[in-house]
């Protein structure tokens, strides 16, 4: 037999064994024979390097070291999911879906929501290409080498499937594997891992893929993303993905009504503790893929899917003391310091109390016995007080009147739930917090500088605000604790590089109250430069898309502050991007200003997302459902018949994809 053929045969054998063992859970070869075959293949590949293949089973053992994970922009954004907590929530969702689609003939899939780390696997021509973490949904870290070590993930597709696609799934650590890992750590005198989810996501970012290979990670797949329109339903696409070699949980079920969905919920709420992996709910999706497209996405989540969260775990413990934390905006958060207690696999010592109203509403006092609940969020919360256990000398909680950090008298404006420390430029956590926000990933994303170092730099008197970062030099940093020349250089290089960050991110980084990521994007698009924003009047501000009174007022407060004006001028002098770049402007016009579009059907020249982006880039607005306000419907093939009737009834212009392209060109 020729070497090439032998190599091919061994690879196929090993791929099959991997599949049988790790996906089907059905061993077809002894460990000994598997290792022997793998060694044989390794030897042949070594002797014949021309046949190297990055998707060979020999590449799964790991051993590569990744120092810095590349950031990769997702081709298709990875959204999060809206949550629901009751049957009513699900009915409301169903109603919204029916309204957009104009039909009540719906079919849903029900899936378990496994709790791990989400991953996006890219395949081209049936071959595994790369794996990227969800990150912020727009971009994540490339963890290809680490993911390859997970043997239930096929590197080459077994059967005919779509050829170019992304497979989305959850990297999970089975509970028994997690327990074993911890037993070993205890033996070695190491600290135990807190829970399977964090351990799974932490594993993806290990530098040595050989270490990852040792962990019993698994990957459960739940979505196929492809432009090839081979399958009509989500269910069908997953069934075929399973045939192609992916580990798609068999628990996926079709349901024709929310009542049927609820049967699934009730069944798994009781049975979920028998599963080998942790779950925190179920995910319900509209099964028909074209309907999914019609429904589209909100700013955060698909409209065609919703998560149902199982009731959270609860426990009672004693609240020892209420302390107060100061956030970067000066907002005060009361914190309950608890007698440590085990809850859903973690030790809980602290819980958030939100604000003064919450403390008053629940009448929470120090030394009370309280019920603590942990849902999906990392910080547990107190949901009630056990009044039967209240000590006799108990007195109502007096909320803090002064800032615990700088002793300034706290303020609370009408209608605001939170107290604030108004000492914006003199209160340590506010100074540090603002700079930490500025350098954070979703903002300026400065490499080589972390939150703790910011605090250190402030304590050393080297920075008081984010503009000061740009005056730092290597010589000032090296003498600091735990700083070497190399890390100092990296930090300065990272700061320097942030001068290229686009305007919308800089705007978000400034930390103007209520100006989050989405608002910053809208403002950047509408005003195009910081100068226009800083000089805009209240009336001008509220004209921008989605800018209400509260945000406008906050921007005015920011722009009328002399300190802020000076900061912005300094940022300008350092060369930061304080206006929308020419390249971005070039693709934008205002020709669709004030016009509202609904997009429906299947398109050929542009993807649906490109079409929507083109509408927005040219000043138009995209809406998900037809109403009197709609100006145009861009109709592709297979536009829903009920939509068509509605559009005709309302006398809305229906234009084709081509008409639309003429319109903007
Ligand atoms: P959340 O992080 O709460 O917004 O929920 C979204 C995440 O749920 C996704 O990023 C996935 O990682 C995870 N997930 C787990 N199981 C599923 C599933 N069956 N379908 C969709 N998402 C899932
Ligand atoms: Zn303060």
Which of 222, 223, 265, 312 has most ligand 1 atoms within 8 Å of its beta carbon, as the pocket-test mutant? 222
In angstroms, rounded to a whole number, what is the distance separating the alpha carbons of residues 169 and 132?
11
Least confident range from 113-117, 218-222, 351-355, 583-587: namely 583-587
Ligand 1 lined by 134 (C-beta under 6 Å): yes
* Nearest atom within ligand 1 for CA of residue 285: 20
* Residues 278, 172 contacting (CB under 8 angstroms): yes
Q: Looking at the CA of 424, name the nearest ligand.
A: 2
Ligand 1 lined by 600 (C-beta under 6 Å): no
Distances (CA, A) of 96 to 93, 111, 232, 287, 598: 5, 20, 22, 16, 16
CA 510 to ligand 2 center in whole angstroms: 19
Per-residue pLDDT at 378 exceeds 60: no
**Which pLDDT score is estimated for 375?**
56
Least confident range from 12-21, 317-326, 611-620: namely 611-620
Helix (H, G, I), strand (E, B) or coil at 112: strand
Per-residue pLDDT at 146 exceeds 70: yes
Distances (CA, A) of 542 to 308, 414, 510, 525, 553: 36, 21, 20, 14, 9
Per-residue pLDDT at 612 exceeds 50: yes
Q: Looking at the CA of 225, name the nearest ligand.
A: 1
* Nearest atom within ligand 1 for CA of residue 79: 10
CA 307 to ligand 1 center in whole angstroms: 8
Looking at the chain, the whole-number percentage of residues with pLDDT higher than 70 is 97
What is the mean predicted confidence (pLDDT) over 166-182? 91
Which residue is closest in CA terms to ligand 1's atom 4? 80
Ligand 1 lined by 283 (C-beta under 6 Å): yes
Q: Looking at the CA of 329, name the nearest ligand.
A: 2
The first and second tokens of residue 586, run together, are: 């070039």
The superfamily in CATH containing domain 314-335+348-420 is Nucleic acid-binding proteins (2.40.50.140)
Is the dihedral angle over the CA atoms 40, 44, 47, 50 positive or is it negative? negative
- Summarised one tens digit per residue, pLDDT across range 400-414 is 999 999 999 999 987
Ligand 1 lined by 74 (C-beta under 6 Å): no
Query: CATH 3.30.470.30 in the chain, residues?
Result: 83-309
Ligand 1 lined by 113 (C-beta under 6 Å): yes
The first and second tokens of residue 533, run together, are: 């924003």
CA 450 to ligand 1 center in whole angstroms: 28
In angstroms, rounded to a whole number, what is the distance separating the alpha carbons of residues 234 and 627?
29
Q: Does domain 83-309 have CATH number 3.30.470.30?
A: yes
Looking at the chain, the whole-number percentage of residues with pLDDT higher than 90 is 62
* Residues 368, 386 contacting (CB under 8 angstroms): yes
* Nearest atom within ligand 1 for CA of residue 111: 19
Nearest-5° Cα angle at 652, 650 to 653: 155
* Nearest atom within ligand 1 for CA of residue 282: 19
In angstroms, rounded to a whole number, what is the distance separating the alpha carbons of residues 308 and 293?
21
Q: Looking at the CA of 409, name the nearest ligand.
A: 2
* Residues 469, 463 contacting (CB under 8 angstroms): yes
Ligand 1 lined by 114 (C-beta under 6 Å): yes
pLDDT band at 624 (very low <50, low <70, confident <90, very high): confident
Query: CATH 1.10.150.20 in the chain, residues?
Result: 428-500, 503-585
- Select from 1.10.10.60, 3.40.640.10, 3.40.50.10190, 3.30.390.10 the CATH code of 596-664: 3.40.50.10190
* Nearest atom within ligand 1 for CA of residue 249: 19
Least confident range from 41-55, 178-192, 556-570: namely 178-192
* Nearest atom within ligand 1 for CA of residue 112: 19
Per-residue pLDDT at 149 exceeds 80: yes
Query: Of the residues 39, 75, 113, 499, which is catalytic?
Result: 113
Q: Residue 7: CA atoms inside 13 Å, Cβ hemisphere, count?
A: 18
Which of 307, 308, 309 has most ligand 1 atoms within 8 Å of its beta carbon, as the pocket-test mutant? 307
Ligand 1 lined by 81 (C-beta under 6 Å): yes
* Residues 317, 341 contacting (CB under 8 angstroms): yes
Per-residue pLDDT at 189 exceeds 60: no
CA 172 to ligand 1 center in whole angstroms: 12
CA 248 to ligand 1 center in whole angstroms: 14
Main-chain phi, psi angles of 130, to 5 degrees: -160, 160
Helix (H, G, I), strand (E, B) or coil at 204: helix
Q: Looking at the CA of 278, name the nearest ligand.
A: 1
Ligand 1 lined by 145 (C-beta under 6 Å): no
CA 425 to ligand 2 center in whole angstroms: 9
CA 192 to ligand 2 center in whole angstroms: 36
- Summarised one tens digit per residue, pLDDT across range 426-451 is 999 999 999 999 998 889 999 889 88
Least confident range from 227-236, 245-254, 408-417, 564-573: namely 408-417
pLDDT band at 316 (very low <50, low <70, confident <90, very high): very high
Which residue is closest in CA terms to ligand 1's atom 16? 113
**Which pLDDT score is estimated for 63?**
76
Ligand 1 lined by 304 (C-beta under 6 Å): no
Query: CATH 2.40.50.140 in the chain, residues?
Result: 314-335+348-420
Which residue is closest in CA terms to ligand 1's atom 2? 80
Which residue is closest in CA terms to ligand 1's atom 23? 113
CATH tag, 503-585: 1.10.150.20
User: In sequence order, which ranges of 333-443 are alpha helices (DSSP H)?
Assistant: 356-362, 428-439
CATH tag, 3-61: 1.10.287.610
**Which pLDDT score is estimated for 8?**
93
* Residues 145, 63 contacting (CB under 8 angstroms): no
Q: b/e per residue, 470-505, with b = 16+ CB within 10 A?
A: bebeeeebeeeeebeeebbeebbebbeebeebebbb
What value does the mean pLDDT of the chain take?
90
Which residue is closest in CA terms to ligand 1's atom 17? 113
- Summarised one tens digit per residue, pLDDT across range 493-512 is 999 999 999 999 999 999 99
CA 255 to ligand 1 center in whole angstroms: 19
- Select from 1.10.150.20, 3.40.50.12780, 3.40.109.10, 1.10.3720.10 the CATH code of 428-500: 1.10.150.20
Nearest to 290 by CA among 641, 590, 550, 660: 641
Which residue is closest in CA terms to ligand 1's atom 6? 80
Per-residue pLDDT at 416 exceeds 80: no
Length of the chain: 665
The first and second tokens of residue 150, run together, are: 């997970």
Based on the residue annotation, tell me whether 8 is a catalytic residue of this protein: no
Ligand 1 lined by 238 (C-beta under 6 Å): no
CA 80 to ligand 1 center in whole angstroms: 7
In angstroms, rounded to a whole number, what is the distance separating the alpha carbons of residues 322 and 350?
10
Ligand 1 lined by 278 (C-beta under 6 Å): no
* Residues 110, 284 contacting (CB under 8 angstroms): yes
CA 406 to ligand 2 center in whole angstroms: 4
* Nearest atom within ligand 1 for CA of residue 118: 12
pLDDT band at 190 (very low <50, low <70, confident <90, very high): low
Instruction: State the distance between the two ends of the chain, measured CA to CA, in whole angstroms.
Output: 61
- Summarised one tens digit per residue, pLDDT across range 461-486 is 999 999 999 999 999 999 888 888 89
In angstroms, rounded to a whole number, what is the distance separating the alpha carbons of residues 486 and 303?
47
């Amino acid at each position: 037999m020729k070497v090439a053929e032998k190599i091919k045969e061994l690879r196929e054998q090993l791929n099959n064994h991997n599949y049988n063992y790790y996906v089907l859970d059905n061993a077809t070869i002894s460990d000994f024979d598997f290792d022997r075959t793998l060694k044989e293949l390794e030897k042949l590949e070594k002797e014949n390097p021309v046949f190297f293949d990055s998707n060979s089973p020999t590449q799964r053992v790991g051993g590569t070291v990744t120092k810095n994970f590349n950031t990769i922009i997702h081709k298709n954004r990875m959204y999060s999911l809206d949550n629901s907590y009751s049957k009513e929530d699900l009915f409301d969702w169903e109603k919204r879906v029916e309204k957009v689609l104009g039909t009540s003939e719906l079919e849903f899939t029900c899936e378990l929501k496994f709790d791990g780390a989400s991953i996006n696997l890219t395949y081209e021509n049936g071959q595994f290409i790369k794996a990227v973490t969800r990150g912020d949904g727009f971009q994540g870290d490339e963890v290809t080498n680490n993911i390859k070590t997970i043997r239930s993930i096929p590197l080459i597709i077994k059967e005919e499937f779509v050829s170019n696609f992304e497979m989305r799934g959850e990297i999970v650590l089975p509970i028994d594997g997690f327990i074993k890992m911890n037993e070993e750590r205890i033996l070695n005198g190491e600290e135990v891992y807190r829970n399977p989810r964090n351990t799974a996501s932490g594993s993806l970012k290990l530098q040595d893929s050989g270490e990852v290979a040792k962990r019993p990670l698994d990957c459960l797949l739940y979505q196929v993303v492809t432009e090839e329109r081979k399958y009509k339903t989500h269910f069908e696409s997953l069934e075929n993905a399973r045939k192609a070699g992916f580990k798609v949980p068999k628990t996926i079920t079709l349901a024709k009504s929310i009542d049927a969905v609820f049967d699934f919920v009730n069944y798994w709420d009781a049975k979920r503790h028998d599963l080998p992996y942790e779950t925190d709910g179920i995910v319900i999706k509209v099964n028909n893929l074209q309907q999914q497209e019609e429904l589209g996405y909100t700013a955060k989540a698909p409209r065609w899917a919703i998560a149902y969260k199982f009731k959270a775990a609860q426990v009672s413990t004693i609240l020892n003391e209420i302390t107060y934390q100061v956030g970067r905006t000066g907002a005060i958060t009361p914190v309950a310091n608890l007698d440590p207690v085990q809850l859903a696999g973690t030790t809980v010592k602290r819980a958030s109390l939100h604000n003064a109203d919450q403390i008053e509403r629940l009448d929470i006092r120090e030394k009370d016995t309280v019920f603590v609940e942990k849902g999906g969020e990392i910080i547990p919360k107190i949901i009630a007080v056990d009044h039967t256990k209240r000590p006799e000398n108990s007195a109502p909680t007096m909320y803090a009147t002064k800032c615990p950090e700088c002793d300034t008298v706290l303020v609370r404006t009408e209608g605001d739930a939170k107290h604030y420390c108004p000492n914006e430029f003199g209160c340590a956590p506010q100074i540090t917090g603002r700079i930490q926000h500025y350098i954070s990933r979703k903002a300026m994303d400065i490499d080589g500088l972390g939150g703790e170092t910011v605090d250190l730099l402030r304590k050393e008197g080297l920075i008081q605000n984010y503009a000061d970062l740009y005056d730092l030099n290597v010589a000032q940093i090296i003498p600091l604790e735990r700083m070497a020349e190399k890390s100092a250089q990296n930090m300065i290089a990272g700061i320097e590089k942030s001068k290229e960050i686009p305007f919308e991110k800089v705007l978000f980084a400034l930390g103007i109250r209520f100006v989050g990521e989405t608002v910053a994007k809208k403002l950047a698009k509408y005003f195009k430069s910081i100068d226009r924003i800083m000089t805009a009047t209240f009336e001008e501000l509220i004209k921008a898309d989605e800018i209400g009174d509260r945000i406008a007022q906050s921007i005015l407060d920011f722009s009328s502050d002399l300190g802020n004006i000076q900061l912005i001028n300094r940022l300008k002098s350092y060369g930061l991007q304080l206006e929308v770049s020419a390249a971005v402007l070039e693709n934008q016009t205002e020709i669709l200003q004030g016009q509202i579009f609904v997009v429906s059907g299947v398109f050929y020249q542009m993807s649906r997302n490109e079409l929507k982006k083109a509408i927005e880039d040219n000043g138009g607005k995209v809406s998900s459902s037809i109403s009197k306000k709609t100006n145009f419907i861009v109709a592709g093939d297979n536009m829903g018949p009920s939509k068509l009737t509605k559009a005709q009834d309302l006398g809305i212009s229906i234009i084709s994809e081509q008409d639309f392209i003429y319109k903007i060109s």
